Amino acid sequence: MKKEMLYEGKAKKVFATEDPNLCIVDYKDDATAFNGLKKGSIVGKGVVNNRLTNHFMRLLDKEGIPTHFVEELSERETLVKRVTIIPLEVIVRNIAAGSLAKRLGLEEGHVMSRPVIEYCYKDDSLGDPMVNDYHILAMNIATAEELNTISGYSLKINEYLRDYLLKHGIVLVDFKLEFGKLPDGTIVLADEISPDTCRFWDSESNEKLDKDRFRRDLGGVEEAYQEVYRRILGEGN
Ligand code: UDP
């Protein structure tokens, strides 16, 4: 079923299939941070991220968010609709952490009075610079209507996942989304939703259960990924 490799990213490979409208994503254990400056491996991460992403995509689809998800093929591989990725990282934040805390002088853990959306232009050679609506429209990265759809979906995804995760003992601090366009122009949620792309804190202890453990050399990286998996997909869930 897998044909030629179309793309190899930092955490995933993408393969063509016999159907030009579908491709297969294969999740790796490789981990990078700080725009590729820090490299390593998180054993079992590919399985956790593949299965968690698919679980979230199925739930979001039921909530009326169109996604690229088609079918889980194996523990690391998923069949998805082929899309043209809109070169934006859409970041939604509920609690100040990481670059937001640093930039605005907020203490990590400061609860924002409402969700914040930020956009970064996906270009590794530029270090994914932050852009606003005006840049996006002026650079023709998306139309006003597309951007409206993207921000609306992002806020809805945030509300849904925030409540869902809290029921599983996890605070959704912030996360990054990517959207793609189908050949007919429909905007769908693409990429992944995982401990690589979200900040997850334990709701009682605020312990970090995400890639910050790798970024900041906190130890217990594999265990954190497995713990999120267990809370969301473990027996009885
Ligand atoms: N994020 C991501 N990929 C990126 C940059 C950020 O998935 O290339 C996620 C990150 O995991 C966090 C959120 O987006 O959940 C906000 O990240 P931030 O801007 O604070 O950047 P960081 O401090 O993580 O570099």
Domain ranges of the chain: 2-81, 84-220
Q: What's the CA gap between 23 and 79, in Å, rounded?
A: 6
CATH architecture, domain defined by 84-220? 2-Layer Sandwich (3.30)
Average confidence (pLDDT) over 145-167: 98
pLDDT confidence of residue 35:
87
- Split at pLDDT 50, 70, 90, the class of 1 is confident
Q: 199: exposed, middle or buried (C-beta count within 10 Å: 0-12, 13-18, 19+)?
A: buried
Q: Which atom of ligand 1 is nearest to the CA of 118?
A: 19
Closest residue by Cα to residue 117 from 153, 84, 155, 81:
155
Unique residue bearing structure tokens 């809370």: 231
Amino acid making up residue 182: L
Q: What's the CA gap between 167 and 105, in Å, rounded?
A: 30
- Split at pLDDT 50, 70, 90, the class of 8 is very high
- Split at pLDDT 50, 70, 90, the class of 237 is confident
Q: How far is the CA of 200 from the centre of ligand 1 (A)?
A: 12
Q: How far is the CA of 111 from the centre of ligand 1 (A)?
A: 17
Q: What's the CA gap between 173 and 168, in Å, rounded?
A: 14
Continuous segment of H or E residues that includes residue 33 = strand 30-33
Q: Which atom of ligand 1 is nearest to the CA of 35?
A: 8
Secondary structure of residue 199 in the 3-state scheme? strand
Whole-number average pLDDT of the chain: 97
Return the CATH fold of 2-81. Answer: Phosphorylase Kinase; domain 1 (3.30.200)
Is the CA virtual torsion 158, 98, 229, 180 positive or negative?
positive
- Split at pLDDT 50, 70, 90, the class of 125 is very high
- Split at pLDDT 50, 70, 90, the class of 179 is very high
Bin 204: left if φ > 0, else alpha if -120 < ψ < 50, else beta. Answer: alpha
Closest residue by Cα to residue 172 from 91, 57, 63:
91
Q: Quickly list H helices, 64-143.
A: 98-104, 133-138
Residue 235 has pLDDT above 80, yes or no: no
Whole-structure pTM value = 0.97
- Split at pLDDT 50, 70, 90, the class of 218 is very high
- Split at pLDDT 50, 70, 90, the class of 104 is very high
Residue 56 has pLDDT above 80, yes or no: yes
Average confidence (pLDDT) over 17-43: 96
Q: 110: exposed, middle or buried (C-beta count within 10 Å: 0-12, 13-18, 19+)?
A: middle
Residues in the chain: 237
Pocket of ligand 1 (CB under 6 A): 89, 91, 97-100, 128, 174-176, 197-199, 211
Residue 122 has pLDDT above 80, yes or no: yes
Q: How far is the CA of 1 from the centre of ligand 1 (A)?
A: 33
How far does Cα 201 stand from its chain's mean position? 16
Average confidence (pLDDT) over 223-230: 98
Residue 236 has pLDDT above 90, yes or no: no
Q: What's the CA gap between 22 and 9, in Å, rounded?
A: 18
Q: What's the CA gap between 154 and 26, in Å, rounded?
A: 25
Q: How far is the CA of 19 from the centre of ligand 1 (A)?
A: 33
